[in-house]
Structure 1
Amino acid sequence: MTDSLPMTISTLSRAQRTSIMNLVRRASRSEIMPRFRKLDAADIGEKTSRQDLVTEADRAAEAMIARGLVTLFPNALIIGEENVSVNPEVLDGIPEAELAFTIDPVDGTWNYAHGLSVFGVIISALRFGVPVFGLLYDPVMDDFIVAQDGEGAEMIMPKRRIRRTVSVSAGGAVEDLSGYIGLYNFPKDKQAQLAAVLPRFERAYSIRCTAHEARMFAEGHVDFMISAKLTPWDHAAGALIGKCAGGHVAMLDGSDYRAQTREGYLLAASDAATWGRVRDVLSFLLDAPDETAKA
């Protein structure tokens, strides 16, 4: 066990980060991977729709990770996706929390529940809503991308004892860019207009897993990603990791991202110039709904 994080310090020690990674790996070995492709229908439930699923692996892994984080950081606010689904008031504590952790125990649950091996675990540490540590874990390959505020982003492969820095792409002109746009996460009244601009990019698509989309962005395999329906467990870690990997990350209106932000669109791109080009293509998303068109 590591010492608790002093509440006036905004960074985690290397030993604390290692403890968090070990905790996530244990949760994967005991709760996530043993259930993969072995779920019965009774083990899969719907939250808000047929596209928004929860499994026994989500619940069990979150409970194990939450217990471990409380042991390591007894004064921290713990924000787990599944707990928030029944206790939404937990989110109200983010702006005032000197230390908070978010947990997405199985990001890409739809993929996981349908036997696709594109899912991950996302952990972030927050200081007054500002992400200061982020972790994206691939349970299948057993490797991480992690970052801490003020430092670079790293790929860590524990079994191979490899650590290497990752960095975003060089960016470029709009027609040369590829990126992630989850079309159906955007407001219904914007989807047709959004679909119409997708051909302006070299490729724009979604793999239904924020953890892997953020990993691909941080490693420079795609040039941008834009997210709607913001939640802290989905987006805080990736926002920090993208920034630490050299990217430009901000809300589409230019404001800073905070973990308590629920409205608007989070855009990450390889540099400020590329961010601006993507923003210009997607700026219509900031327009107010046309009420006259509905009348």
Structure 2
Amino acid sequence: MALANILRDAARAEALPRFRRLDASMVTTKSEAIDLVTEADVATEEAIKIAMARFMPAALFVGEESVAADPALLGRLADAELAVVIDPIDGTANYAAGLPLFATMAAVVSKGETVAGIIYDPMGDDWMMAEKGSGAWLRRPDGEAVRLSVAAPLPLAEMVGCASVSYLPVNNRAQVLANLAKVRVVSNFRCAGHEYRTLVSGHSQFSCWNKLMPWDHLGGVLMSQEAGGYAARLDGQPYLSHHVDGGLLVSIDRDSWDELRREVFSF
């Protein structure tokens, strides 16, 4: 909860006051037009970094914006004794567009293994979180806690889920888009944090991404597993803290994962 409150304090101090108040000078493009960073991303991460230096001074701090400034930092994650991985504003494109679908996220990694994850929703003012072996929980600032669980299995034609095809190879994109017609509903929130929250609270059956950065997925994968779900890279191998490619499919159970991989995410 101490880490959860650090995320909340930073988001409330830096992200929320700037929401729908950004001008063009406060938003810049990183790798391409859909990859944005705002003044709020940088300020929120810096506030978290300062608080983490007091709370966990021995931990390696790996933030999305810190890695943008120093890419070598990412390579230290796999071997770190203890690390905290931060996404100050997940869903920056939504945030910059004034859409209230963004999150502040953290994962704690010990010797390459994710041991805790937190997804804070600044608009709803609550957290979804998990510690390894302790289940997944919705927690509110008043202390209320609700245990989370993934949905019951459904036939493929009735499944609801999220999928991002933006980073798929161009020659595979059309095939996956055609295959997605086999499920009932497919969405893309442009915010991994809220896609994980939807899955672990029992409102969808799957989420799939091709681009993997640790701040987007480490906490959410642990949370999904603690809520009873199944996650693996698209080749079937476990998803680990140092992976940045290979695709990722998260579903409510192994059987659903196998069917989705075979029928939808096959290329």
Match of 2:54 in 1: 71
Match of 2:164 in 1: 182
Determine which of 136, 150, 163 is the counterpart of 2:145: 163
Aligned to 1:132: 115
Q: Is 1:260 aligned to residue 242 of structure 2?
A: yes
User: 2 CA distance for matches of 1:51 and 1:24?
Assistant: 25
By how many angstroms is 1:275 displaced? Answer: 1.0
Task: Name the CA distance, whole Å, in 1 between partners of 2:32 and 2:78.
Answer: 29
Q: Which moved more, 1:71-80 or 1:106-115?
A: 71-80
Instruction: Tell me which residue corresponds to 2:97.
Output: 114
Check conservation: 2:180, 2:264, Cα contact below 8 A. Answer: no
- Look up the match of 1:32: 15
Q: Shift of residue 115 of structure 1? A: 0.4
CA contact (8 A) 1:171 1:269 kept: no
Q: Distance in 2 between matches of 1:219 and 1:111?
A: 22
The answer to whether the 8 A contact 1:229-1:263 is kept is yes
Query: Any unmatched runs of 5+ in structure 1?
Result: 1-17, 286-295
Indicate conservation of the 8 Å contact 1:105/1:122, yes or no: yes
The amino acid that maps onto 1:234 is: D
Structure 1 residue 263: Cα displacement = 1.6
- Structure 2 partner of 1:196: 178
CA distance in 1, matches of 2:33, 2:3: 32
Please report how far the alpha carbon of residue 129 of structure 1 lies from its aligned counterpart in structure 2 after TM superposition: 2.2
Q: Which of 102, 121, 127 pairs up with 1:144?
A: 127
Q: Taking structure 1 as reference, are residues 283 and 179 closer, same or farther at Cα in structure 2, changes over 3 Å only?
A: closer
For 1:273, give the aligned amino acid: D
| Residue 173 (structure 1) shift | 1.6
* Candidates 48, 60, 63, aligned match of 1:80: 63
The aligned counterpart of 1:270 is 252
Q: Distance in 2 between matches of 1:97 and 1:187?
A: 32
Give the partner amino acid of 1:191: R
Across the aligned residues of Structure 1 and Structure 2, the Cα RMSD in angstroms comes to 1.0
Question: Distance in 2 between the 1:197 and 1:204 partners?
Answer: 11
Q: 1:173 aligns with which of 141, 155, 160?
A: 155
Give the C-alpha shift of residue 174 in structure 1. Answer: 1.0
Say if 2:30 is the partner of 1:47: yes
Moved over 6 A (4+): none
Partner of 1:247: 229
Q: Pick from 183, 187, 192: which aligns with 1:210?
A: 192
- Residue 260 of structure 1: SS of its match in structure 2? coil
Distance (whole Å) between structure 2 residues aligned to residue 215 and residue 183 of structure 1: 20
1:283 Cα deviation after fit: 5.0
- Are residue 21 (structure 1) and residue 21 (structure 2) matched? no
Structure 2 counterpart of 1:238, one-letter code: G
TM-score (normalizing by structure 2): 0.97
Cα distance in 1 for residues equivalent to 2:219 and 2:259: 24
Query: Corresponding residue for 1:59?
Result: 42
TM-score by length of 1: 0.88
Percent identity between the aligned chains? 37
Q: Which has the larger radius of gyration?
A: 1
Instruction: Indicate if the aligned counterparts of 1:226 and 1:266 stay in contact, CA closer than 8 A.
Output: yes
Residue type of the alignment partner of 1:47: K
- Shift of residue 251 of structure 1? 1.2
The alpha carbon displacement at 1:25 in A equals 1.2
In structure 1, what is the Cα distance between the partners aligned to 2:46 and 2:7? 11
Whether 2:218 is the aligned partner of 1:236: answer yes
| 1:184-217 C-alpha deviation (Å, 9 max, x unpaired) | 2322221111111111011112011000000000
Aligned residues: 267
Structure 1 residue 99 and structure 2 residue 82: aligned? yes
